[in-house]
Every structure is written in C-alpha cells, then in structure tokens.
Amino acid sequence: RAAGRVRLAALAAEGGPEKQQRQQRQQQQQQQAAVEDALEDALDADADVESERRYRSLPDAVQTLYGLLDAIDLRGRWKLEAGNYLLSPPEGVAPKAVVHFLGGAFVGVVPHLAYAHLLEALSERGMVVVATPYRIGLNHLDVVDNILNKFDQVATSLALDYGELPVVPMGHSAGALMHTLAQALFSAPNNNNSDPEDVAVATSMSGVAGAGVGAGVGGAGYARSAAILLSYNNRPAESAIPLFKPVIVPLLASVYMAQQQRPELREQIQRTLRVPAQLEQRVAALIERNRDILPAFLETQLAPTLRETRSIAEQIEPIFDEIGLRQRTEFEPAPQDVLLAVEKMWAVEHTLLVRFSSDPVDDSKQLFAAIKRRGAGDGSVRLERLGGSHVTPATQDVLTAERIPWLEELVPEWVKAVREPVRRAVLSDVDRLADLIAVWIDERIALEQI
C-alpha cells in the first residue's frame, strides 16, 4: 500500500496518463496548425506571385491606363461607421460642431454622394459631418425612428473622438421634414412652454405611442439647441407626387389585384426594379474573378458606389407595396398635424430656415409661422431667401480636378480659362449656402447659444 501511494503521488505530480495524453494531442494539433499555416502562406505567396505575373503580362498601355484609373477619387474622405457616413475636418482644421445631415427623398440613401460639395465645404469650415442615410416611406414616424436609432450607433464614438461638440441637425427637403418631426415629437423640449395637454394633443394627432412623444426613442438626448432646415417640404402625397391619386394609386391597386390571377406580373415588376442590384452583383463577380488583372479603381471606387446607388431604386418596391397592398394613400402624420406638433412641441431654441428663389415646392414660410406661434423670440428663428432652386443644396462640382489629379495635365490652357468662370457660376448658389450655414453656426457658438 505504501508503494502504491508513492506511485500514485508520482503520477499525480506528473499529471497522470490522461494529462500526458492531452498534452500530446495539443502538441499534435499545434504542429498540424503550424503545417497548415505554412502551407496557406506558401499558397498565398504563390498566388501573389501569379497575380503579379499576370498583371505584369498586361501591355504597358493597359498598365498605364490602370494607373490613371486608380488615381481617380470618387469618394473623398468619407468613412462608413455604424450605418452613417462620417466626414471629419481636414488635418489642421479644429472641429467646431457636429452637423447631423439628412438628404431629400430617395437621394437620402446616398447623402455623401448627392450632397458631396455642400457637405465637404462645411467640413473644411470645421464641421464634423454625420450624414445618415434613410429610406423614404409613407409613414414618416417610422422613418424618423430608424434615423435616430442609426445615429445612436455612432453617437458614442463621436463623443470619444471629439468631446462635447454641439450637434446641429440639418436637413434638405424631406430630410428637413424628418428633422422637424424628430425635434417636435421625439425630443424633450428645451423650454417650459409645453404642458401636459399639449403633449396629449401631439400624441393623439400623430399616432405615436404615448411614450414616444416627449421622451422619444432617445429621451432628452435628441433635443437640440439649434437646427438648420433647407427647402422644407411638407405636402400631401397628391401634391408632392405628380398624378398620385388620379393615376398612380388606381394603377397600383389594379396591378396588385391582377397579380393574384397572374403571379408572373408581380415577378416582372420585381425583375425590373432589381436591375440595378443585378448590375452591381455582376460587377462584383467580375472583380472577384479577375481582381489581379483589373484596376483597383473598380473594387475601391466603382463597386461601392454602385452598391450604394442601387438603394435608390430599392426604395420603390416597398412604397408600391404600401400603396397597392396596404391601401395607404397619404403620408403619416398629415402635413397639418406636423405643423400643429411644431406649435405645441417644438424643442429647438435657434432655427435657421433657408428657401430658394425658384422653388415652387418649398413650405418654409408655413414652418416659420408655426415656430413663431410656438412663442419663439425674434432672434430664435430666422428665415433666409437665397438664389437658386430646390436642388441647389445637391449641386455637384463636376468640373473639379481634385477627384481626377491627372486631368489638369490633359486639359488645354484655354479650356481651363473658360472652365473656372463656368465652375464658379455653377457653384455660386451652393457656395453662398455653405457660407451662410457656417457663419450662422459660428455665431451661435460665439454667443454660447449651442
């Protein structure tokens, strides 16, 4: 028994047969993993060599062309983070404020592309731009809820990166309407003008659940001290969409009814609407198969741009479903209810409204009057009228050489002489808008109003 105890003690000290077996298996697994890693590295090295060989086998003219394409920068300094497009000020420019931007209907899914010039101009003036993409729908409250939830995902990282910068909502057209709803129905008011009866009225008229008004999905965190609303648009569907009730609604109703007898009709509609997605998928597959002999421009610039712009068309089918299947024929909340909500619950202390001289669908005057009826002071809401049209905020700088650095070498001097005056004329209205916005924000900061 004593000898047995000694033997057991020795085995225990060594860990016993089971421990030795486990150690052996672990060693074998580690050796196997090392072999597999070495094999994978060798295959990768061979693949890199083969890719390099295939690329070098291309004619010199093709390689030169690829180099020119790879120098093109379609996307600028934008970064995608948690579903939001972020643009920080250039190096050496101190950040002043966060501009939370929403674009107009349909193009709101690609705000960093559709509004590139305006937003980049603001970034150069010290604004941290957060452009939240969204899909338009007839139920605007659902749209706003999704927007604010998406902004939530990036708010913490913004605070960590930039500290306590003021957040200024800015929207164009439908984006201005979404920010208006957010500040009227999803924010805790900044002043004491709201009483329980006003909250109850706003709740009942908008159809928001009781907890949604005032507290909102983010509570007081969504209340802002300042807001900028461009070409505010808030009209019934029949006014906002040409031929909506006399043509579109009956047509979709008949199509959706007919598809019960003819399912192929629905399939044909879906195929048509999904053409952009199919194009993007084919380009992605082409790049995947031939990455080593194609310019990097296709993968880093063209493919993501196609992927993002296809979402413009993808908004159409859900709207058709709302009209044809669910029989929705009006926006929610209705335009008059939005204005009533502003009168009762507007939470912004300083508001800049901008309208343009040639904009027949602008409703900024009605919003201005509603904010004034809310009891805003003379200096707290400002309505500016600039030259331009409804699409001025989305004006693009198509004649710039910044995106295509080698372009200047190919353009004759006489073309450059003509181009610059044309470029200044095209951009004059949007540049004045950028100056107005930047100066207004600077003033609010200097006066410690935001």
Residue 441: pLDDT above 90?
yes
pLDDT at 338: 95
Q: Which residue has the higher pLDDT, 309 or 425?
A: 425
Q: In whole angstroms, what is the distance from residue 366 CA to residue 368 CA?
A: 5
Task: Note whether residue 416 is domain-resident.
Answer: yes
Domain boundary among 267, 290, 324: 324
pLDDT value at 293 more than 50? yes
| 420 vs 442, more confident | 442
In this prediction, residues 300-317 reach a mean pLDDT of 81
372 and 301 share one domain = no
pLDDT of residue 339: 95
- Would the pLDDT of 368 be above 50? yes
Q: Are 221 and 361 in a shared domain?
A: yes
* pLDDT at 124 (0 to 100): 97
Rounded Cα distance, 306 and 279, in Å: 8
Residue 298: which of 279, 283, 277 has the closest Cα? 283
Q: Answer for the pair 306, 280: CB distance below 8 angstroms, yes or no.
A: yes
Structure tokens at 108: 């709101």
Q: Which helix (H) or strand (E) holds 32?
A: helix 16-56
What pLDDT does 11 receive?
46
Tell me which residue has tokens 């029949």: 238
At 238, the pLDDT band (50, 70, 90 cuts) reads confident
Q: What pLDDT shows up at residue 17?
A: 63
Report yes or no on 73 lying in a domain. Answer: no
- pLDDT recorded at residue 216: 30
Give the count of alpha carbons within 13 A of 142, CB side only.
7
Cα(99)–Cα(230) distance, integer angstroms: 13
291 and 406 fall within a common domain: no
C-alpha dihedral, 372 to 378 to 382 to 383, nearest 10°: 60
141 and 228 belong to one structural domain: yes
Q: Is residue 168 part of a domain?
A: yes
- Find out whether 146 and 134 touch, Cβ atoms under 8 Å: yes
Residue given tokens 């296709």 in the structure block:
298
Q: Say what the pLDDT of residue 218 is.
A: 34
Q: Using the 8-state DSSP alphabet, how is residue 82 labeled? A: T
Residues 156 and 282 in one domain: no
Q: Are 101 and 170 in contact (CB under 8 A)?
A: yes
Same domain, 246 and 220: no
| Domain membership flag for residue 259 | yes
Please indicate, yes or no, whether residues 359 and 259 belong to a single structural domain of this protein. no
Asked if pLDDT for residue 206 goes beyond 50, the answer is: no
CA–CA gap between residue 104 and residue 174 (Å, rounded): 5
Residue-level pLDDT at 207 = 47
Q: What is the pLDDT of residue 162?
A: 92
Same domain, 312 and 434: no
362 with 313, same domain?
no
The per-residue pLDDT of the chain, averaged, comes to 81
Number of domains in the chain: 3
| Residue 227 located in a structural domain | yes
In angstroms, the Cα distances linking 128 to 124, 199, 253, 255, 329 are 9, 33, 45, 46, 38
Identify the domain boundary among 324, 358, 383.
Answer: 324
Domain-embedded: residue 62: no
Cβ-contact 433, 230 below 8 angstroms: yes
Q: How confident is the model at residue 191 (pLDDT cuts 50, 70, 90)?
A: very low
* Residue 431 or residue 39, greater confidence: 431
| Higher pLDDT among residues 56 and 392, named by residue | 392
> Which residue segment(s) compose the domain that 248 sits in?
240-324
Residue 142 is predicted with a pLDDT of 94
CATH code at 409? 3.40.50.1820
Same structural domain, 123 and 220:
yes
Choose between 86 and 206: higher pLDDT. 86
Instruction: Tell me the helix, strand and coil percentages in the chain, rounded to 5.
Output: 60, 10, 30
pLDDT in tens, 118-161: 999 999 999 999 999 999 998 999 999 999 999 999 998 999 99
Q: Residue 75 phi/psi, 5° resolution?
A: -110, -10
Tens-digit pLDDT profile for residues 398-421: 767 667 777 777 778 887 788 888
Which pLDDT score, from 0 to 100, does residue 75 have? 80
pLDDT of 377 higher than 80: no
Q: Which pLDDT band, with edges at 50, 70 and 90, does 47 fall under?
A: low
* 406 is a domain residue: yes
178 pLDDT band, cuts 50/70/90, is very high
**Worst-scoring range by mean pLDDT, 165-179, 307-321, 326-340, 399-413?**
399-413
Token digits for 349?
A: 């202390």
In a domain, 281, yes or no: yes
Predicted confidence (pLDDT) at residue 2 exceeds the cutoff of 60: no
Residues 197 and 257 in one domain: no
Are 411 and 367 members of one domain?
Answer: yes
